[in-house]
Structure formats: structure tokens, C-alpha cells
Amino acid sequence: MVPTWRLRAAFARRLSEMYGTEVPAYTTLLAVTGQINDEVARRDEDAGRLGGIDRVTAERHGAIRVGTPYELRQVAQIFAAFGMHPVGFYDLRDGGAGAVPVVSTAFRPTDPKELERNPFRVFTSLLTPTDRRFFDAELSARLTTFLARRTLFPPELLTLAERAETGRGLPAESAARFVQLAVAAFALSPEPVDRGWYTELERISAVAADIGGVAATHINHLTPRVLDIDALYRRMGEHGITMIDRIQGPPRWDGPDVLLRQTSFRALAEPRAFREPDGSVTEGTLRVRFGEVEARGIALTRAGRARYDALTAETDQRSDDGDGASRQRTARALWEAGFPRTERQLAAEQLAFFTYRPAPGHPRDGRRPPAGLTELVDQGWLTADPVVYEDFLPRSAAGIFRSNLTGDGVHDTDRTGTPFDAQRLAEAIGRPVLDPFVLYAAQQDSSLRRALHTIGAHEALASLDSGG
């Protein structure tokens, strides 16, 4: 029997191998990422603070895009077999010039032990063909008809996925078949692309064309995790790969790494077959896929996230159209003035999530533990370990989409969009969409209760129960 997590690890590994054969720059990215991770692991004794080197080396996220709730439900079934569940809701339709007609979630493991085994996650976007800001009634109808006619996932794949979900794994032979079919479902299709239809959609949005202009789906990018993204950014330049002009997310600074920093490069144009309006098939190219890399930091609480959003808004205001470097300087100055410089302070102000355990050699001489969490840590009763941010940032996601487009497309902001939220997305998927903050808080809370219980900190436990 191959358990869920081994299926997931095999899926991530095989997708990565496939994407490497499809997008050569991805292979360069992996090589450089591996070098940098080794260097950081050798020079920095805290390198494993946000995940062991084994986890980080295997760690990837992917991005895919589907067209209909039906397709989304099927893909959710496939991911469920790999122990990946929808977490978080991202609406990318309101991002000004770079707005794209999709709403998204991320499929990922939710249990801390499962994350440790293999944290593979896939950012999954659903096209919104009925959104009148992008598609008029006539085009919307044709798009919906086109999408309803295609089949993305073969029945055998879906049946195996159901069996794997219910059985929490598969016997070796079906496991191999299942992973093979799942990987194949995300390979670039050799089917000719209908030139007229693709171009019509592309005028509105390159993302709409990538999703609804073709008869299959494919992985859009696969992203490794790097321990020093600034070093990676420089080194990719030395390898002749031009990155976008900035690293998205928090600035580089001396304080704790939080949330997510990402950067990307556009992949080369890929050869694709086209069916021309006269029926002939020609060779052409499309440039829709790309490379991305990310560094992960500590998960922030809602209050911490609000602080992050405020600092980002202020950075925007003060840097106007400044280049990447001047924006970095502005951001760093604002962070130095407005964000806690230490993990201890992040925990004390409840701006980030930590798990707690009894400190090795915590006092056992009959002394009574103090009631406050900060005192418990400061006085050597408890050890706090930061929780890794496992999710995405809507603004960076919008930036990633945008860096990937040839033009901004057109949309009419005066029209009202189709209302969409996590609840509606959950109905479309037919499975709950989990709230990331709730998951992190539960992880922190259960570790804290266990630790307090072990050290006999009854006062602290009581104050947890009274919500203090």
C-alpha cells in the first residue's frame, strides 16, 4: 500500500521532472536553487528554523488554471487523493490594470505532520466567464459552451483518485498508474490551438486565452523554495536569465523573515501547433509559461497581516514609480520603524504564529510556572518555534500573473462583477474552503495546551480557556 503522502511526494517529483523537460530554464532554476540552499545550510546554523533541508529541497508549488466549477470539482478530487485540500480564497479580478478574470484557492496538506512529509501545494484558478467586466453576454455564452465540451481528466484517473482518497492510499500498481495519469493530465497538449478563438480571447485577457482558448489544461509554473532569494536573484542574472524587476512581498531586512517573497522570469516561447481559420495546421509559438522561485517566512496572525498590508500600502505611496532598488530601500526603512525586529516581539504582540514545547531542561525544582506566555518563554519553561507560512499573497499572485502576460488585456471596471467569495467557491468545489488563519491558530493552540499541561502551568491554561 502506498500511503497518501508518498503519492503526493511522487506526484510533485514526477511533475517537476516533466516540467524540466518542457521548460529548460526551470532546470537551470533548480540547479541554482540547490546550490544556494546548500551554501545557506553550510553557513547559517539557523537555516533549518523554517523547515528542515529535506523538506525545503523537495518543496514546490505549482499553478494550474481551470475553466468551470465542474473541472474544479474534478481537480479537487485528484488533489484530495494526494492529501491536498482547498485553503484560502484569492480574488484576482480587482487588481486595476493587471486584473485577471479568475478566482483562486490553493490545494495543500493541512496537517503539520503531512506538511513536514511533503508540503506540495497547487495554486488553482477558476475562470469567471460570466464576469461582465471582462466578457460580454455573447462571448460569455460561447466560452461557456466551449468549456462544457472539453474533457480535462480521463475517467480512469478520477476513479483511481476516488479510491485513493477513500483508502488513504493505493496498492503499488494502481499507485504508479494513478501518478502517471495525474502527471500526464498537466502536460502541455500537442493538440492544435484554434488560432481565431485563442486570439479573440487573448485580446481580453491572456489568462482567459490560456484557460479557455485550448482544449486541455497544463501546469503553468512550478516553483522551488530557496533559502536566500536575493542571492538567487543575482545568480540567475549571471546565468543569463532575466528576472522581473523586483522580488514581491516583504523587503530584505535584518528582522525575521515573514510570509512569502517571490520572484519570477518569463519562460521562452514554446512551439505549439495552430489550426488556422482556413483549416490548415501550422507551427507557431505561445509564451505563457514561466519560472518562479520563493522564500518562505513565518505565518502572521490577522493582526500581523494587517500590519504587513499597511506597510505595503505605505511603501507603494512613498515609492510611486521608483525602480526595484529604491522601492526596497523605502520598504526597509518603513519596516525598521514599524515591524517587530525579533521573533520574541512578534510572539509577544501576537503578530505571528508559533508552536510551543516544553523547553529542554525546563525548571523542575518545584517552582510554579508564571501565568504569562512571554514569561514562560523568557524564564526557560517553553520554547517557541515559528510556524512556516504555507499560503500565498493575493498581491504577489496578481504580480505573478501580470509578469506573465504580453498585454494587460481589456476590461470594463464600470460594470459589476459576478459576486464571489470563499463560500461560493466552496459550493463550486463541493468541498469546504479552509481559512488559513484558523489552521495556523489551531496548530499554535494545540501545541500550547499540550506544552502547558506538561509543565503544569495551570494558571496559563486557565487564562487560555477564558480567552485571555
CA 98, distance to chain mean position in Å, is: 19
Shortest distance, CB of residue 26 to ligand OOG, whole angstroms?
14
Q: Interacting stretch for ligand OOG, rule CB under 6 A, among 309-317, 367-375, 395-403, 434-442? A: 395-403
Q: Interacting stretch for ligand OOG, rule CB under 6 A, among 166-174, 193-201, 239-247, 398-406? A: 398-406
- Report 272-301 residues binding Ni ion (CB under 5 A): 292
- Which listed residue (10, 23, 56, 397) binds ligand OOG by CB under 6 A? 397
Q: Could you say whether residue 307 binds ligand OOG (CB under 6 A)?
A: no
User: Which residue number, 88 or 358, has a Cβ lying nearer to ligand OOG?
Assistant: 88
Q: Could you say whether residue 262 binds ligand OOG (CB under 6 A)?
A: yes
- Report 115-174 residues binding ligand OOG (CB under 6 A): 123, 125
Shortest distance, CB of residue 221 to ligand OOG, whole angstroms?
6
Please say whether the beta carbons of 417 and 131 come within 8 A. Answer: yes
Q: Could you say whether residue 209 binds ligand OOG (CB under 6 A)?
A: no
Residue identified by cell 525579533 is 342
Which does residue 161 touch among ligand OOG, Ni ion, none (CB within 5 to 8 A, set by kind)? none
**Closest listed residue to residue 262, CA positions, set 31, 33, 468, 439:** 33
Measured between alpha carbons, how far is 69 from 428 in angstroms, rounded to an integer? 5
* 3 φ/ψ angles, rounded to the nearest 5 degrees: -70, 160
**Closest listed residue to residue 37, CA positions, set 266, 193, 224, 299:** 224
Q: Could you say whether residue 401 binds ligand OOG (CB under 6 A)?
A: yes
Single-letter residue type at 164: A
CA 177, distance to chain mean position in Å, is: 27
Shortest distance, CB of residue 229 to ligand OOG, whole angstroms?
13
User: Which residue number, 260 or 455, has a Cβ lying nearer to Ni ion?
Assistant: 260
Which does residue 396 touch among Ni ion, ligand OOG, none (CB within 5 to 8 A, set by kind)? ligand OOG
Closest residue (Cβ) to ligand OOG?
397
Look up residue 201 and give its DSSP letter: H
- Which listed residue (23, 164, 346, 400) binds ligand OOG by CB under 6 A? 400
- Which listed residue (68, 74, 77, 220) binds ligand OOG by CB under 6 A? 220
Shortest distance, CB of residue 264 to ligand OOG, whole angstroms?
8
Measured between alpha carbons, how far is 468 from 138 in angstroms, rounded to an integer? 56
- Report 54-73 residues binding Ni ion (CB under 5 A): 63
Shortest distance, CB of residue 261 to Ni ion, whole angstroms?
12
Please say whether the beta carbons of 390 and 436 come within 8 A. Answer: yes
Please say whether the beta carbons of 3 and 169 come within 8 A. Answer: yes
Q: Could you say whether residue 396 binds ligand OOG (CB under 6 A)?
A: yes
What is the side-by-side order of every strand in the sheet holding 102-108? 85-91, 102-108, 121-127, 60-66, 221-224
Helix (H, G, I), strand (E, B) or coil at 354: strand
Which does residue 125 touch among ligand OOG, Ni ion, none (CB within 5 to 8 A, set by kind)? ligand OOG
Measured between alpha carbons, how far is 120 from 107 in angstroms, rounded to an integer? 9
| DSSP element (H, E) containing 67 | none
* 416 φ/ψ angles, rounded to the nearest 5 degrees: -95, 135
**Closest listed residue to residue 187, CA positions, set 272, 77, 83, 86:** 272
Burial label, 280 (beta-carbon count in 10 A; 0-12, 13-18, 19+): exposed
Which does residue 392 touch among ligand OOG, Ni ion, none (CB within 5 to 8 A, set by kind)? ligand OOG
Shortest distance, CB of residue 42 to ligand OOG, whole angstroms?
28
Shortest distance, CB of residue 61 to Ni ion, whole angstroms?
6
Cβ–Cβ contacts within 10 Å for residue 260, how many? Answer: 24
Nearest 5°: CA angle at 89, between 313 and 428? 150
Which does residue 401 touch among Ni ion, ligand OOG, none (CB within 5 to 8 A, set by kind)? ligand OOG
Q: How many chain residues touch ligand OOG (CB under 6 A)? A: 13
Helices 155-167, 172-184: inter-axial angle, 10-degree rounding = 130
In the shown chain, the binding pattern of residues 54 to 93 toward ligand OOG, with x for contact by CB under 6 A and - for none, equals: ---------x-x----------------------------
User: Which residue number, 7 or 63, has a Cβ lying nearer to Ni ion?
Assistant: 63
Q: Could you say whether residue 266 binds ligand OOG (CB under 6 A)?
A: no
Please say whether the beta carbons of 148 and 68 come within 8 A. Answer: yes
Measured between alpha carbons, how far is 87 from 106 in angstroms, rounded to an integer? 5
Q: Could you say whether residue 298 binds ligand OOG (CB under 6 A)?
A: no
Shortest distance, CB of residue 120 to Ni ion, whole angstroms?
13
* Footprint on this chain of ligand OOG (rule: CB under 6 A): 63, 65, 123, 125, 220, 262, 292, 392, 396-397, 400-401, 404
* Footprint on this chain of Ni ion (rule: CB under 5 A): 63, 223, 292
